[in-house]
């Protein structure tokens, strides 16, 4: 029997392949995890903007219902994000992302109005939400 003092070429190639595959999957896992965290942050921010926009419209109900049903109004929370205004405005910048909040009256009934709320960010994504505003 020979004394084996080194690895053969096949053993080195197989070990390198196993190591490469393992490192690849670890990097892929880290990359997917960072994308998931980023998407969940965007979803959380978007959900908060929807809720805040809905509360803004409810707080300014009289002003909002006086608009024509076809008129699209924008909501601005200003730089402090502490109060809102219904008017044609620029985007809201949060965490270096531009958000555009558009709203309009979809239909007016005797006791309520259906409101369409649309948030667009970075000119790419658009999310819509409908809700009912009672008089």
pLDDT tens digits, 86-118: 766 667 777 778 888 888 888 888 888 888 888
In a domain, 3, yes or no: no
- Average pLDDT of every residue of the chain: 82
In a domain, 117, yes or no: yes
**Contact yes or no for 102/84 (Cβ under 8 A):** no
Give the total number of structural domains in the chain.
1
In a domain, 4, yes or no: no
- Residue 115 CB burial class (10 angstroms; 0-12, 13-18, ≥19): buried
- The more confidently predicted of residues 82 and 65 is 65
In a domain, 122, yes or no: yes
pLDDT band at 24; cut points 50, 70, 90: very high
**Contact yes or no for 75/84 (Cβ under 8 A):** yes
Model pTM? 0.65
What's the mean pLDDT in 64-73?
Answer: 73
In a domain, 72, yes or no: yes
Range of 32's domain? 9-134
Residue 50, φ and ψ in degrees, nearest 5: -60, -50
In a domain, 47, yes or no: yes
In a domain, 31, yes or no: yes
In a domain, 2, yes or no: no
Q: What pLDDT sits at residue 130?
A: 86
The rounded Cα 112 to chain-centroid distance in angstroms is 29
């Amino acid at each position: 029997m020979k004394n084996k003092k080194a690895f053969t070429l096949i053993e080195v190639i197989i070990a390198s392949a196993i190591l490469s595959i393992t490192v690849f999957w670890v990097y892929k896992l880290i990359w997917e995890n960072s994308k998931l965290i980023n998407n969940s942050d965007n979803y959380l921010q978007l959900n908060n903007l929807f809720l805040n926009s809905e509360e803004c419209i409810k707080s300014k109900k009289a002003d909002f219902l006086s608009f024509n049903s076809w008129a699209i109004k924008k909501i601005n929370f200003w730089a402090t994000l502490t109060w809102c205004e219904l008017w044609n405005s620029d985007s809201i910048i949060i965490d270096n992302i531009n958000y555009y909040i558009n709203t309009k009256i979809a239909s007016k009934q005797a006791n309520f109005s259906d409101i369409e709320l649309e948030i667009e960010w970075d000119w790419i994504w658009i999310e819509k939400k409908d809700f009912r505003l009672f008089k």
